[in-house]
Chain A
């Protein structure tokens, strides 16, 4: 279902670019001994512009990447870093390659956003190559849809060797007799589903689930005191009229609907 889309054979297609040994050496030297500002050229290879907006947000005074000397330049001939957004569409493939070839070696390529990293939500479209690295060698991947300005800063800090990488590949193998316990086991099954359904109906899928979960934790804890008192305290603490309405509905289900207060 979600296999990596392989590069399709195209008539008169330029070969994918790759780095030579010497370029790789030069790249390493550039990363370690850069004693000046880093010039970034941005290529939009078929993105939706959300990534580009976030890049501009990163150069505004609030996040201000220019304090690290990272500067967006208007020509690939000045670039040290090439920042590629978008899923690499058929239409933008040649302009992107021309910009890449125009930049002087050594150059660092950053794949920006979910589309740049792997094609994102467009990965299996007919006109999409599915990621920058299908045709250009990529050095840094910044995932996100779009990456927030701090994620952008982190990506650049990683590219320039200022910060360490946090995400690591991991593989888990199921242990013998690994079991999953039912959550909130002391609340009756029918009540549990009724609570979750009502919370999701009122608050939408993600928050609804969170609210139902919090409410059920509240039900199970401190059972000596009456439920109404506990709910009153919770509502007063949260002080949110929207949450109050939902929690009151859940309370009504507990007391009225099933009569099954644990």
Chain B
């Protein structure tokens, strides 16, 4: 009996104090994906990488809006979104206390505006993404004036670019209209 008690006191208390005291997580713990909408360029790379389709994007051409959405109830915390994000807008955090009483609280959304095509005036790509590409070109060493000139080409939708390619074959380039020499 004494031996047993001695063993009990020597072992001490193995139970964590968790709900009453915070529990430290390991450094590589994969918890709630922390999203910073201000760093997001709405490129949709994360929604393609997400194996569980917890991340999704809806484009509303009529309203010129693109909505990014995450459902924490579907996320499997694999970290692929963090891997592909070009701007470090999403990263897994050690946060694990995600339980909710209402299903609606599992959703986080962000809305981005789309830039309209310079030729056909249809919204086609997020404005922030185009701005980011121009910033990247300038950072890569392109003179600012040239980069701004390239913007005219970036702000043309793929369908219009294709049409332009065809018309150039026949001796007419639509991009001349917007001051862009091919």
Contacts and interface: CB of A to CB of B under 8 A. Distances in A.
Interface of A: 1-2, 61-64, 67, 114, 117-121, 123-124, 131, 133, 138-145, 147-148, 150-151, 153-155, 157-159, 162-163, 165-175, 178-183, 185, 188-189, 205-207, 209, 213
B109 A144 contact: no
A159 to B, nearest CB: 8
Contact of A61 (B15, B71, B83, B104): B15
Q: Name the interface size band of chain B.
A: 35 or more
Interface in B118-157: 128, 131-132, 135-136, 139-141
A189 B136 CA distance: 9
A143 B47 CA distance: 19
Contacts of A144: 77, 96, 98
B107 A63 contact: no
Interface stretch (B2-10, B33-41, B173-181): B33-41
Given A62-B16, A140-B99, A174 B111 contact: yes
Interface in B6-40: 14-16, 18-19, 23, 28, 32, 37-40
A180 B96 contact: no
A227 to B, nearest CB: 21
10 contacts: A61-B14, A114-B76, A144-B96, A145-B76, A165-B100, A167-B105, A169-B108, A173-B111, A174-B37, A209-B83
Contact of B71 (A118, A139, A153): A118
B93 interface: no
Contact of B103 (A141, A153, A159, A168): A141
Interface of B: 14-16, 18-19, 23, 28, 32, 37-41, 47, 51-56, 71-77, 79-80, 82-83, 87-89, 95-101, 103-113, 128, 131-132, 135-136, 139-141
Contacts of A159: 99
B99 A180 contact: no
Nearest to B68: A172
A113 to B, nearest CB: 9
Contacts of A206: 79, 82-83
B74 A141 contact: no
B106 A117 contact: yes
A124 B18 CA distance: 36
A153 B18 CA distance: 8
Most chain A beta-carbon neighbours within 10 Å: one of B14, B73, B128, B141:
B73
